[in-house]
Amino acid sequence: MKIVFDDVKLFRDIINAVGVVVEEATLKVDNDGIKLRALDLAEVSMVDLFLPKSLFTEYDVEPTEVTFRVSDALKLLKASSNETMTIIPEENQLKFRIIGEFTREFGIPRFTSATREAPPLNITLNNIFTTSVKVLKYILNNGRYVSDTLRIETATNKVILLAQSDVSSIKVELTAEDGTLIEPKISPDVRQSYDLLRLQKIVGALTFVDLVKISFDTDMPLKMGVNLNSEGFLTYYVAPKLEE
């Protein structure tokens, strides 16, 4: 089995983005690529990852599952973008061989997962738009000082992101005119609230992309997705928050 990835930093960033939802990652390796779908312990958010074989410079595998602690990998996967990494699953370890300025190899514990893969979430969300990660980080990083809830609202030709309390509020309006609302498919007067702090952790981990696609609806989960290439993706789902 041989899996070679030519951007160690990107791989680490992707694993870090998975780690904001789960502490343990179970990668399903098959002939199509590497897959992961898992719920957090509170079953409030889910991460769905697909790294297609086209994303790797070499991909020669036999179907297997590899479970490891995300924190173990992040502590040791520190390298620059122009370094190449070979992933080597062994019986009791997941090994990484990194070739760049110098060659090094390390292994982290591999173990059997006690949890089952989360089922696919088959839902229809009718309000869809794309916006920048930078804008989302602004409202989430500043909104946390006001509220632990982010409300998403639609109006004619715009989307409103709002955090408010009895005495304070912060609002961002997304519009096509200022370039913050991209390819919107929205209906007016739709609104739903979500856990702001959970969203802040997720968006804060999206350091390797500029845009994120958001889908939502009343009383429905929020879906946030980014493309890794023409086939690969990283998608999050966050449960709706009931407001008192």
Residues 190, 159: one domain?
yes
Q: How many domains does the chain divide into?
A: 2
43-92 residue pLDDT tens: 899 999 999 999 999 999 999 999 999 999 999 988 777 799 999 998 89
Same domain? For 144 and 189 the reply is yes
Looking up residue 140, the CATH number of its domain turns out to be 3.10.150.10
Q: Is residue 6 located within the same domain as residue 103?
A: yes
Quick one: 15 and 93 in the same domain? yes
Share of the chain above pLDDT 90, in %: 86
Q: Are residues 69 and 13 in the same domain?
A: yes
Specify the pLDDT at position 47. Answer: 97
Per-residue pLDDT of 218-243, as tens digits, reads 999 999 999 998 899 999 999 999 86
* Average pLDDT of span 105-124: 86
Cα separation, 236 vs 69, in Å, equals 19
Report the pLDDT value the prediction gives residue 243, as an integer from 0 to 100: 67
Q: Are residues 100 and 178 in the same domain?
A: no
Which of 109, 142, 173 is a domain's end point? 109
Does any domain span residue 218?
no
CATH number of the domain encompassing residue 77: 3.70.10.10
Q: What does the pLDDT read at residue 141?
A: 97
pLDDT at residue 229, rounded to an integer = 87
* Domain that residue 134 falls in: 127-213
What share of the chain has pLDDT > 70, as a percent?
98
Same domain, 35 and 99: yes
Q: Are residues 93 and 149 in the same domain?
A: no
Q: Residue 121: inside a domain, yes or no?
A: no
User: What is the structure's pLDDT at 118?
Assistant: 86
Q: Indicate the pLDDT class of residue 111, thresholds 50, 70 and 90.
A: confident
In this predicted model, what pLDDT tens digit does every residue of 117-161 receive, in sequence order?
788 889 999 999 999 999 999 999 999 999 999 999 999 999 999
Q: Same domain, yes or no, for 10 and 102?
A: yes
Q: Is the pLDDT of residue 191 over 60?
A: yes
Does any domain span residue 227? no
Domain membership of residue 197 (yes or no) is: yes
Domain boundary, last residue among 109, 143, 177: 109
What's residue 215's pLDDT?
Answer: 98
> What tokens appear for 45 in the block?
């958010």
Is 115 within the bounds of a domain?
A: no
Residues 14 and 104 in one domain: yes
118 domain-assigned: no
Domain shared by 12 and 103, yes or no: yes
Going by C-alpha positions, the residue among 70, 64, 72 that lies closest to residue 107 is 72
Mention every residue, 6+ apart, whose C-beta is less than 8 A from residue 61: 1, 2, 3, 29, 30, 31
Q: What is the 3-state secondary structure (H, E, C) of the chain?
A: CEEEECCHHHHHHHHHHHHCCCCEEEEEECCCEEEEEEECCCCCEEEEEEEEHHHCCEEECCCEEEEEEHHHHHHHCCCCCCCEEEEEECCCEEEEEEECCCEEEEEEECECCCCCCCCCCCCCCCEEEEEEHHHHHHHHHHHCCCCCEEEEEEECCEEEEEEECCCCEEEEEEECCCCCCEEEECCCCCEEEEEHHHHHHHHHCCCCCCEEEEEECCCCCEEEEEECCCCCEEEEEECCCCCC
Mean pLDDT across the chain: 94
Q: In this structure, is residue 146 part of a structural domain?
A: yes
In a domain, 41, yes or no: yes
- What pLDDT score was predicted for residue 81? 73
Q: What is the dihedral of CA 221, 66, 114, 111, to 10 degrees?
A: -140
Q: Which residue has the higher pLDDT, 174 or 1?
A: 174
Last-in-domain residue among 50, 79, 109: 109
Asked whether residue 75 falls in the same domain as residue 167, the answer is no
**Mean pLDDT throughout 166-181?**
97
